[in-house]
Amino acid sequence: MNKEWFTDYAEHALRVINIETHWLELRGWITKNGRHILIGDDEDGGGSSGGAGKNVDKSGKSGIIKTDERFDLDPNKINKFLLLPGAKHSEEFFNVGYKPGDYELLFDDIAAGFDMKKAVDFRHNPSGKEGFSIFMKLGVTKKRDFRTTWERKNSKSKPRFTSAYRNSPKKR
C-alpha cells in the first residue's frame, strides 16, 4: 500500500464518521427497555423532502423505526401487510382493535409476546433456514390467539419475523 492510498482512505473514513455523527445527532437514538428507537425528523410522522428521513418514512411511516435485540422485524411487514386495509390478514388485526397507524403498538405487542421458550413447529427448508412459530395473545380491545411465524439462518442466528395471523394452538 502506498501512503497516498492510506491518506485517501483515512480522509474518507473521517468523512463517514462525521456524517454518521451528525446524522445521529439530527435523528437521535433512544434506548428503552433494551430496544433502540430511532426518532424521526418531524413530529407529525411526515417525511422530509430529502436526507436521511426519507428512508425512515418509506418503511416506518410514523418516522420511528423500532428494533429489538432478540429479533428482526421489517416495519413493512406491519405497515404494508398486517395493518394495510385489504391485505391478506389485516382484517384479523382490525377485528381486535388495531388501526392502520398502530405500527408502534403492534411492534410492542409482538415484542412482549416473543419468547423463544414458546417456539414450536420447527422446520427446515431446502436452503437450510429454520422456521418456527410462536403463539401469542395480540389485540387492543380484546386479546386473541395469533400464530407468529419466524425464520433464521441457523439455531444460533437472530430470528426474522415473517408473518402473523389468527390461529389458536389448539387448532393446529
Confidence of residue 67 (pLDDT cuts 50, 70, 90): confident
Decide if 154 contacts 128 (C-beta within 8 A).
yes
Q: Do residues 78 and 100 share a domain? A: yes
Residues 47 and 88 in one domain: no
Element (H, E) at 16: helix 3-27
For 152, counting Cβ atoms within 10 Å of its Cβ (0-12 exposed, 13-18 middle, 19+ buried), the class is: middle
The confidence score (pLDDT) of residue 13 equals 61
64 and 37 in contact (C-beta within 8 Å)?
Answer: yes
CA–CA distance from 126 to each of 123, 141, 149, 153, 161 (Å)? 10, 40, 17, 12, 19
Domain end among 67, 91, 111 = 67
Same domain for 97 and 170? Answer: yes
* Grid cell at residue 41: 425528523
CB 34 within 8 A of CB 69: yes
- Shared domain check, 85 and 8: no
| CA–CA separation, 51 and 128 (whole Å) | 38
Question: Mapped to the 3 state alphabet, what secondary structure does 37-70 carry?
Answer: EECCCCCCCCCCCCCCHHHHHHHHCCCCEECECC
> In whole angstroms, what is the distance from residue 156 CA to residue 168 CA?
27
Give the confidence band of 109 by pLDDT, cuts at 50, 70, 90: very high
Structural domain boundaries enclosing 90: 71-172
Helices and strands in the chain: count of H runs, count of E runs: 5, 7
pLDDT at position 78: 93
Give the pLDDT mean for 40-55.
36
State residue 167's pLDDT score. 85
Number of structural domains the chain divides into: 2
Indicate if 97 and 24 belong to the same structural domain. Answer: no
Mean pLDDT value across residues 12-26 = 51
How far apart CA 22 and CA 40 sit, in angstroms, is: 14
**pLDDT given at position 54:** 29
**Cα first-last separation, the chain:** 61
- Residue 154: per-residue pLDDT: 87
Q: Are residues 50 and 84 in the same domain?
A: no
Lowest mean pLDDT among 38-47, 71-80, 108-117, 158-167: 38-47
Do 157 and 89 fall into the same domain? yes
Which triple of cell numbers denotes residue 53? 428521513
Domain shared by 62 and 79, yes or no = no
Enter the pTM of the model.
0.62
| 3-class secondary-structure state, position 127 | coil
Q: What is the pLDDT of residues 123-158, one digit of tens each?
A: 998 888 999 999 999 999 999 999 999 999 988 899
pLDDT score recorded for residue 156: 87
Q: Is the distance from CB of 68 to CB of 35 less than 8 angstroms?
A: yes
The pLDDT score that the predictor gives to residue 65 is 63
